[in-house]
């Protein structure tokens, strides 16, 4: 493979799929990862190859496991030849009162949503430095890392930590011309089975609709491009204004309208 390349974790569906498709449309060859979602991953890869005329290789692995992030980075580099863009999107969302949350769930959030992105940034940035790639790293966080809600102490705390990690790594990698940023999505409709919920909820968001994976994909393409070459260490909210008025992320309660 030649030209621009990107590794997108959790690229089989939802936000990751939206980012992968947007990157391919911009001319990137892709590596996407998934865990136990092979059918959707290969559907995404076929769409990229058949409709967007870009290469897309699929890797399966559980990034909760300590050795998997490095393994994925090595395999993606070997297959693509180099990596220009890393998008840390894979993650799990678990909402539960922290006082009652099982250790297994706490560890899952810590390992998949924080440790895995950190290990991937470490491995891919070493590759970029060695190869002289002035690349871009993008972490997908959440507006819950900025605004607290009941039941999201661990999930929101982990996303806040990833935002803070991003800022320091941006300083570490700036001398090499490698930029590191975050996108913090708000309410993104990734499940068509909940379209009625998102329609009602979207009416109370300031821009009067829920977000889509395509919205995140467009932001990701821009933030990792040369058009954003003077931006590093920052977080861009893509939430339609969701958290501006401090509205609740529930169907009940007072919303924007």
Burial 38-75 (b: 16+ CB within 10 A, else e): eeebeebbeebbeebebbbbbbebebbeeebbeebbeb
Domain annotation covers residue 71: yes
Closest CA to 84 of 132, 144, 25, 49: 132
The Cα–Cα gap between 234 and 166 comes to 8
What pLDDT shows up at residue 247?
60
Which helix (H) or strand (E) segment is 78 a member of?
Answer: helix 68-80
Instruction: At 141, list the tokens.
Output: 């966080």
Domain annotation covers residue 152: yes
Domain annotation covers residue 248: no
Domain annotation covers residue 92: yes
Triad 66, 70, 76: Cα angle to 5°:
140
* 8 A C-beta contact, residue 75 and residue 127: no
Domain annotation covers residue 254: no
Triad 186, 113, 130: Cα angle to 5°:
110
Closest CA to 135 of 46, 225, 219, 62: 225
What percent of the chain is helix, strand and coil (3-state, nearest 5)?
50, 15, 40
pLDDT in tens, 33-69: 999 999 999 999 999 999 999 999 999 999 999 999 9
Domain count, the chain: 1
Mean pLDDT, the chain, integer: 94
Domain annotation covers residue 124: yes
**In terms of residue numbers, what domain contains 76?**
5-238
Q: Among all residues, which ones are annotated catalytic?
A: 155
CATH number at residue 181: 3.40.50.720
* 8 A C-beta contact, residue 189 and residue 203: no
Domain annotation covers residue 169: yes
- Percent of the chain surpassing pLDDT 90: 89
pLDDT in tens, 131-145: 999 999 999 999 999
DSSP state of 111: I
Mean pLDDT along residues 160-188: 98
**Is pLDDT at 248 greater than 90 in this prediction?**
no
Q: Would the CA dihedral through 138, 110, 155, 166 be positive or negative?
A: negative
Domain annotation covers residue 49: yes
Triad 65, 82, 29: Cα angle to 5°:
90
Please count the other Cβ atoms lying within 10 Å of the Cβ belonging to residue 245.
Answer: 12
- Which residues, at least 6 apart from 222, have a Cβ–Cβ distance to it below 8 Å? 228
> Global pTM?
0.94
Mean pLDDT along residues 150-167: 97
């Amino acid at each position: 493979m030649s030209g621009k390349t990107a590794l997108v974790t959790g690229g089989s569906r939802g936000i990751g799929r939206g980012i992968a498709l947007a990157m391919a449309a911009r001319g990137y060859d892709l590596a996407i990862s998934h865990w136990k979602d092979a059918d959707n991953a290969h559907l995404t890869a076929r769409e990229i190859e058949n409709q967007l005329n870009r290469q897309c290789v699929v890797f399966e692995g559980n990034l909760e496991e300590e050795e998997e992030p490095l393994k994925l980075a090595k395999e993606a580099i070997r297959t693509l030849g180099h990596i220009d863009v890393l998008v840390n999107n894979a993650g799990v969302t678990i909402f539960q009162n922290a006082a009652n949350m099982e250790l297994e769930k706490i560890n899952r959030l810590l390992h998949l949503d924080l440790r895995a992105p950190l290990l991937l940034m470490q491995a891919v940035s070493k590759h970029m430095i060695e190869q002289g790639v002035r690349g871009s790293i993008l972490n997908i966080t959440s507006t819950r890392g900025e605004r607290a809600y009941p039941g999201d102490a661990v999930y929101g705390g982990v996303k806040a930590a990833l935002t803070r990690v991003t800022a320091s790594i941006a300083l570490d990698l700036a001398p090499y011309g490698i930029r590191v940023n975050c996108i913090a999505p708000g309410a993104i409709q990734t499940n068509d089975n909940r379209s009625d919920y998102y329609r009602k909820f979207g009416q109370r968001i300031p821009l009067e609709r829920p977000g889509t994976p395509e919205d995140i994909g467009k932001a990701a393409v821009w933030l990792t491009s040369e058009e954003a070459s003077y931006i590093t260490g920052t977080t861009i909210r893509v939430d339609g204004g969701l958290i501006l008025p401090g509205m609740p992320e529930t169907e009940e309660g007072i919303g924007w309208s």
